[in-house]
Amino acid sequence: MIKEKYHFLMYDPIFKSLIRSDEAREIMSIILSEITNVPQQELLNASYEAGELPKWKINQKGRSADTLIHLPGNSHMLSK
């Protein structure tokens, strides 16, 4: 009997690697476009990376996001 092992997207490393993957860029841009209403073409040309979010106060603790999506020609960013 063959046992199959399933990985769920709720598992953080799998989600991060999928959303940042060049191979999955097209399907992820379709999904993200439906969720965020950002045009798919912008999401295809965006850069996806891990990163730290900016601090707004000097005594604020550091905050990080699983994935930052920098849209071309746009000062806004999407984060998960």
- Rounded mean pLDDT of 4-8? 61
In this structure, are residues 47 and 29 in contact, taking their beta carbons and an 8 Å threshold? Answer: no
| Type of residue at 66 | D
pLDDT tens, position by position, 34-79: 988 989 999 999 888 777 766 677 777 777 777 778 888 775 555 5
Q: What is the pTM of this model?
A: 0.62
Domain boundaries, the chain: 12-54+64-79
Distance CA 12, CA 62 (A): 20
HEC secondary structure over the chain: CCCCCCCCCCCHHHHHHHHHCCCCHHHHHHHHHHHHCCCHHHHHCCEEEEEEECCCCCCCCCEEEEEEEECCCCCCEEEC
Q: What is the mean pLDDT of residues 22-28?
A: 89
